[in-house]
Amino acid sequence: MQSVVERVINLLIYLLESPHPVTADQVRQTVPGYDQSSDDAFQRMFERDKNVLRRLGVPLEMKALDAWEVDHGYTVDPEKYAIPDPGLTQPEKVALSLAARMVRLGEGSAGLQGLLKLGGVERAMGLEPIGADLGAEAEVLGDLFRAVTERRRIRFDYRGHQRGLDPYGLAHRRGHWYLAGETSGDQRVFRVDRMEDLEIEEQSGSFTRPPGFKVRDMMKSQPWETGQDAAVTARVRFDSQVGWWAARTLGVPAAVDESLEAEIPVANRDAFVGWILSFGDSAEVLGPDDLRAEILERVESAMASLP
C-alpha cells in the first residue's frame, strides 16, 4: 500500500517534470498508488491530492490540451513553483522565527511552517517575554490576503447586506482585522470578524488598486476619526482624574494638575460620544453646541432605559 505522502510526492514530481500538461488518465496509469482503484475511488483520491498540493502552496494549473478545450491536463510550472529567495540572513531568519513565536494568529503555526520553506532556523533560543494575540483565524485571513494579492473579487454578507468588494488591503487595528476596498464606487472598510458567507471569485486580476492607495491611510488611529460624518473639531475638558490618561491616548501633554483641555477632530460622532461618556462625568464637551446636545440626548436616553 502506497502512503499518501509517497503518492503526492510522486505526483508532484510527475507534474513538475512533464513537458506537457498531463491528463487525469495519464496520472492514473503512471503514478503508483492510483493504479488499483476503481474509477470513483480514483476520482476522489485525485481530487484530494490536488487539494493537498494547493494547500502546500503548489501552483497547480489546469490547461486545455486542444483548441476546442475538450480535454484538460494538469501542470505545475517549475518557475512558479519555486519560492522566490528573499535573501534573508541567518540573524534575520532568527528574528522572524522569534516574532512568529511571539505573535499568535489563530490556532495554527503557519508562520513557523512557512519559515521551514525559507530554510528553517537553528532554534536553541529562549522565548522573549513579549507577545501579541492578533485574534482571527489564520485560514480566513490567508484566503482574504490571497484575494487581495491576486486581485480577486469577493462577496459576503455584512450586517444583513450582501456586498461585492474589490479587496485592496488588510489591516490590524485595536485588536481587530479590517478589510478595505471598493464597493459600488465607494472606498470602505469592513471588520473581518463580521463578514459572513464569504465567497472568493476564481478569476484573478479582476481589478487594479488605485495608484497610491495605501491601506494604512484608510485606517485612522482613533475610532472617532474614521467615519462619514461631516468633520468637526470638538473642544473637551478632562478633569485631573482622567486628564493624564486622555492625554496619553491623544498623544498630547496634560496640564500640571493633570487635567486636559483638548481640540479633537471628529468624523464619527457616535464613536466620539461613546468615548466621552466612558469617562463618566470626568469629561465635558465644551463645544460645538450640537455635539453637546447629542451627549445630553444620549445621557437622557440611558437614564430613561433604567428599570
Partner 1 sequence: MTSERTLSRLSRILALIPYVLSNEGASVAEVLDRFGYNETELARDLDTVFVCGLPGYGPGDLMEAFIDEDEVVIDAADYFARAPRLTSTEAISLLAGGMAIVASGQASRELESAVEKLSKAVVPDADMALSVDVSGESQMLGQLRTAATEKKVVTITYRSLGREIETTRQVEPWTVFTTLGNWYLQGYCRLVEGERNFRVDRIRKLQVTQQSFERPTDLPEPGVGYTPSEEDIVCDISLGPGAQWVPDYYPVEILRVTKNRTQVRFYSVDAEIPARLLLRLGAAARLLKGDEVAERVAEIGGSLLDKYR
Q: Which of residues 72-91 bind partner 1 (CB under 8 A)?
A: 78, 80-89, 91
* Whether the Cβ atoms of residue 93 and residue 118 lie closer than 8 Å to each other: yes
Q: Does 124 bind partner 1 (CB under 8 A)?
A: yes
| Residues 188-227 close enough to bind partner 1 by CB under 8 A | 209, 213-216, 219, 221
Number of residues counted as binding partner 1 (CB under 8 A): 124
Measure the CA angle with vertex 300, ends 296 and 301; round to 5°: 120
Q: Please count the other Cβ atoms lying within 10 Å of the Cβ belonging to residue 34.
A: 20
Cβ proximity to partner 1, 221 vs 233, nearer residue: 221
Asked whether position 129 contacts partner 1 by CB under 8 A, the answer is: yes
Q: Report the nearest approach of partner 1 to the CB of residue 186 (Å).
A: 19
Looking at 71, 114, 196, 255, which residue binds partner 1 (CB under 8 A)? 114
Report 259-298 residues binding partner 1 (CB under 8 A).
273-275, 277-282, 284, 292, 295-298
- Interatomic CA distance for residues 131 and 254, integer angstroms: 30
Q: Which is nearer to partner 1, 69 or 107 (CB)?
A: 107
176 scored as a contact of partner 1 (CB under 8 A): yes
* Residues facing 284 on adjacent strands: 237
Report if residue 8 touches partner 1, rule: CB under 8 A: yes
The answer to whether 245 contacts partner 1 (rule: CB under 8 A) is yes
- Long-range interactions of 142-147: CB distance < 8 A, separation 24+: 142/110, 143/198, 143/200, 144/170, 144/179, 144/192, 144/198, 145/170, 146/200, 147/200
Residue 93 interacts with partner 1 (CB under 8 A): yes or no:
yes
Biggest alpha carbon–alpha carbon distance for the chain: 84
Nearest Cα to Cα of residue 92 among 121, 70, 112, 72: 121
Q: How far is the CB of 274 from partner 1 (least distance, A)?
A: 4
Choice between 65 and 112, CB closer to partner 1: 112
Q: Is 118 in the site for partner 1 (CB under 8 A)?
A: yes
Cβ-based burial of 54 (10 A; exposed 0-12, middle 13-18, buried ≥19): exposed
